[in-house]
Structure 1
Amino acid sequence: MSARIGVIGSNMVDLVTTIDRMPRIGETLEAPAFSIGNGGKGANQAAAAAKLGADVLMVSRVGDDVFGADTIANMQRLGIDTRHVHVVPGASSGVAPIFVDANGDNSILIIKGANDHLLPDGVDEAAADLLDCGLIVLQLEIPLETVYHAIDWAHAAGKRVLLNPAPATQALSLERIAHVDFFMPNQTELSILTGLPTSSAREAEAAARVLLDRGIGTIVVTLGADGALLVTADEVSLIPPVKVVARDTSGAGDAFIGAFAAHYVQDNDLHAALRQATRYAADSVTRPGTQKAFATAEEFSRLAL
């Protein structure tokens, strides 16, 4: 398997506001701090993998504005191949207002902007370069038709696919994604997709089995501070958590996905990649922000977690 990763997905500009609490309707509150950062689930996952030393190709769309130019420059600084990251004339960049409270918990809004212009023909345009990738990584901040097209293309090309169904939507066709090799929701996303409770590992396992019955073969449910749960037809394994003091959880899921991809393409060891991803995601929440909170390979190698 090639050690190159192809990420087909979104980029956003994170507009992060630190809050003591969310204001009520009609209420104005003073917030302690504000910052701007590069984000978006696709770009975050690509950044995490690249920071860990992976060879990453990004397929994405940015706006015709200062945010778009900065997004491309940021990816290039991280060593991500941006030959298929294109500017959409007249479109705004995607933005994500993020509100982080004193406990490190977050609430996020997304405005897709140029991300809605990543259409199936964008996958076709990048196909020759995606053939050099051993793993294709997808999320749901781009049009569903593009996600389905990418999955179908990858399946026909014999490429492994990881789908992170975030943000979750009941419009997602489970039949159209049955070919994915790895399906990685968090507990909330799993509940939205199945209509079942997922507040405990036992409930998450039961919900994951519904997806197994629909044809999805390998499901990894991220459980936040409780680690992650691997569910297949032959195995149920709990990847134990790493205990840390969380400052900001906004990029944890993307850190997990990117770290998993980076480690999995190196040695094809599912369980080892999941353990490393759990460690990497835990470390990421000890610092504020998303991409800027992700450790480099050198920093990660020194962790005592």
Structure 2
Amino acid sequence: MEVLGIGDNVVDKYVHLNLMYPGGNAVNFSVFSKKLGVDAAFMGTFGNDQEARHVEQVLQELQIDVSRCRHFDGENGCARVTLENGDRVFLGSNEGGVTRMYPLQLTEDDKAYIRNFAVMHTGLYSHTGHLLPELTQLGVPLSFDFSDDFEEEQVDKYIGYADFAFFSCSHLTDEAAQDYIRSKWAGGNQLIIATRGSSRSMAYDGTRFYFQEPMVVEAVDTMGAGDSYIAAFLIHYLREKNVQAAMIEGSRFAAESCLVEGSFGYGVPYN
């Protein structure tokens, strides 16, 4: 199995530590997938600063294929972060830097490359909404992360392209989350999954709901927990086609990732 993350790469700058860690939804998906034992690639845009060099170097060290990435003059994506009792708190960002400034455009070679993967993952922060019509014509299942600050206009615009749609719904009650994802199901074989922090996650296939309690740990850092859930869920679902088993693996791996600083470590000082 080979999987592909498309879109955002960032550094998360922990202001209380003066350390920056590589991350971003698409990068995290690729790295977590690699940690789970599958080949992974990342397609996105790097700037020409210290932050970009660090992320790219780490991905190469982890043997993530970055051969289809673009490079532009400008700031790499970065966010300012702190921790409160192990829970990451965002303080601001440059909204993706060059990823936002130079939207990814696909060549025919890119499309041929993408067709080799078992699944591709992107999301709201990846600035790839304009690519969804093209991506869904390539015969590869598409996973899309709506994160936790989704807007109704965005959801309604993109949800129909996703084979797997992920939402972070810790701000909703159990009943409200069920009502919401039921209302957004777009038909066919689509699966919608809602993670809810320390409350149970849920999945909906158009017919029934599935539920999974989180695995409780004393979190060091919750950064990347949702992305680790997504990676483990997708890999196990594609292997076994069992929603409940995939949710169990997602919860297990998300708990494990909460014991690591940053999304997946590799922090270095920044200027």
* TM-score of the pair, normalised by structure 1: 0.79
More strand per residue: 2
State the distance in 1 between where 2:143 and 2:106 align. Answer: 18
How far apart are residue 252 of structure 1 and its match?
Answer: 0.7
State the distance in 1 between where 2:62 and 2:234 align. Answer: 16
Match of 1:288 among 239, 246, 261: 261
- 1:104-143 pair list within 5 angstroms: 104-108=86-90, 109-111=92-94, 112-117=96-101, 119-122=103-106, 125-143=109-127
State the distance in 1 between where 2:176 and 2:34 align. Answer: 34
Matched, 1:166 2:147: yes
State the distance in 1 between where 2:69 and 2:81 align. Answer: 24
Provide the aligned length of Structure 1 versus Structure 2: 263
SS in 2 for 1:36: strand
Letter in 2 for 1:91: G
How far apart are residue 214 of structure 1 and its match?
Answer: 8.4
How far apart are residue 233 of structure 1 and its match?
Answer: 1.6
State the distance in 1 between where 2:194 and 2:134 align. Answer: 25
SS in 2 for 1:185: strand
State the distance in 1 between where 2:43 and 2:199 align. Answer: 32
The unaligned stretches of length 5 or more in structure 1 are 19-32, 189-197, 294-305
- 1:222-237 pair list within 5 angstroms: 222-237=195-210
Letter in 2 for 1:100: L
- 1:22-37 pair list within 5 angstroms: 33-37=17-21
* TM-score of the pair, normalised by structure 2: 0.88
SS in 1 for 2:4: strand
Matched, 1:153 2:134: yes
SS in 2 for 1:292: coil
How far apart are residue 258 of structure 1 and its match?
Answer: 2.0
State the distance in 2 between where 1:67 and 1:248 align. Answer: 21
Match of 1:58 among 25, 31, 42: 42
State the distance in 2 between where 1:96 and 1:181 align. Answer: 29
The unaligned stretches of length 5 or more in structure 2 are 267-271
Aligned position for 1:67: 51
Matched, 1:258 2:231: yes
Match of 1:178 among 151, 154, 160: 160
Confirm or deny: 8 A CA contact 2:210 2:244 kept in the other structure.
no
How far apart are residue 54 of structure 1 and its match?
Answer: 1.4
State the distance in 1 between where 2:167 and 2:82 align. Answer: 21
- 1:37-52 pair list within 5 angstroms: 37-52=21-36
Letter in 2 for 1:63: G
SS in 2 for 1:283: helix
Letter in 1 for 2:60: Q
Change (3 A) 1:5 1:117: farther
> 4+ residue stretches of structure 1 with deviation over 6 A?
213-216
How far apart are residue 215 of structure 1 and its match?
Answer: 8.3
State the distance in 2 between where 1:248 and 1:57 align. Answer: 25
Aligned position for 1:302: none
Confirm or deny: 8 A CA contact 2:44 2:104 kept in the other structure.
no
Aligned position for 1:191: none
Aligned position for 1:85: 69
Confirm or deny: 8 A CA contact 1:175 1:214 kept in the other structure.
no
State the distance in 1 between where 2:109 and 2:80 align. Answer: 31
How far apart are residue 75 of structure 1 and its match?
Answer: 0.6
Q: CA RMSD in A?
A: 2.3
Worse overlay, 246-255 or 210-219 = 210-219
Q: Could you say which structure has the larger radius of gyration? A: 1
Letter in 1 for 2:41: L
